[in-house]
Amino acid sequence: MTFVAQVRAAGHLVLNALMPPQCLACGASVDRHGGVCAACFGRIAFITRPVCHACGVQIAAIDSDNALCGACIRERPAFRMARAVFAYQDEGRDLVLQLKHADRTDMARHLSGWMAREGGSIIGATDVIVPVPMHWTRLAMRTYNQAALLASALGTLSGKPVAPDALTRRRATPSQGPLGREARRRNVAGAFIARRPEAIANKTVLLVDDVLTTGATANACSRALLKAGATAVDVLCLARVPLPG
């Protein structure tokens, strides 16, 4: 074992003694930091192929890698492609809610590793990473923006620059929670603006968020980025809401 490896191994021992590794979802003890226990793993609905080439939603078996879902056939999103790690349901939903509401900023570091594995090829084509912004009034209540945490952790992992302030939310939009597809689109239309066009002009942008629902927010952000001169926008999220049924 090299000296560096010895130091690293010793570091792991110290870390494990101070903070025994726990399942990110339920807190049960596990072998190593940043993972989930077998039971929780089994309850996370990881997104598997085939998926819609554009929005990344799981679709019925098809014979082409470029197949689109019904919604994307009717209208292509402003972003090029969106991908997510797991479905926003069961244990996956709990993970996102913990990241969002509990004081678990450490989770962003681990979960961004999952995103980096899922979006490896997308990240490879990225020039700059931009999080979906939160309006300052909501940020003031919550103290941190989980999308910005994920974006920053992805930047550290990938070595790609992060522009956390490239986009801004012009107005506080009402919660998207109870809204349907069309209402969501109206709710966020024009809500975002590129505050620092020089950070994104002529660049391929990776937009990062925690959850993709109908894609209305990702679309509105992508339009603002493209309007400010971005070459293309891809989207990487932790979770996405599955199609009904």
> Which positions touch Zn ion (CB under 5 A)?
23, 25-26, 28, 37, 40, 52, 54-55, 69, 72
Judged by beta carbon, residue 162 or residue 209, the one nearer Zn ion is 209
Q: Which residues pair with 212 in a beta bridge?
A: 240
| Shortest spacing between CB 59 and Zn ion, in angstroms | 8
Q: Give the CA angle between residues 195, 146, 201 to the nearest 5°.
A: 25
Judged by beta carbon, residue 145 or residue 219, the one nearer Zn ion is 219
| Shortest spacing between CB 166 and Zn ion, in angstroms | 25
Q: What are phi and psi of 162, to 5 degrees?
A: -115, 135
CA pair distance 67, 61, nearest whole angstrom: 10
Judged by beta carbon, residue 26 or residue 139, the one nearer Zn ion is 26
List of residues 6+ apart from 25 with CB closer than 8 A: 36, 37, 40, 44, 91, 94, 95, 98
| Shortest spacing between CB 143 and Zn ion, in angstroms | 26
* Residue 64 burial (CB count, 10 A): 8
Judged by beta carbon, residue 26 or residue 193, the one nearer Zn ion is 26
CA pair distance 111, 9, nearest whole angstrom: 23
Judged by beta carbon, residue 14 or residue 28, the one nearer Zn ion is 28
| Shortest spacing between CB 55 and Zn ion, in angstroms | 3
| Shortest spacing between CB 192 and Zn ion, in angstroms | 21
Give the CA distances from residue 168 to residues 51, 89, 155, 192, 239, in Å, rounded to whole numbers and listed in that order. 30, 29, 19, 6, 22
Judged by beta carbon, residue 40 or residue 211, the one nearer Zn ion is 40
| Shortest spacing between CB 67 and Zn ion, in angstroms | 9
CA pair distance 32, 16, nearest whole angstrom: 8
Q: Which of 106, 88, 98 is nearest to 177 (CA)?
A: 88
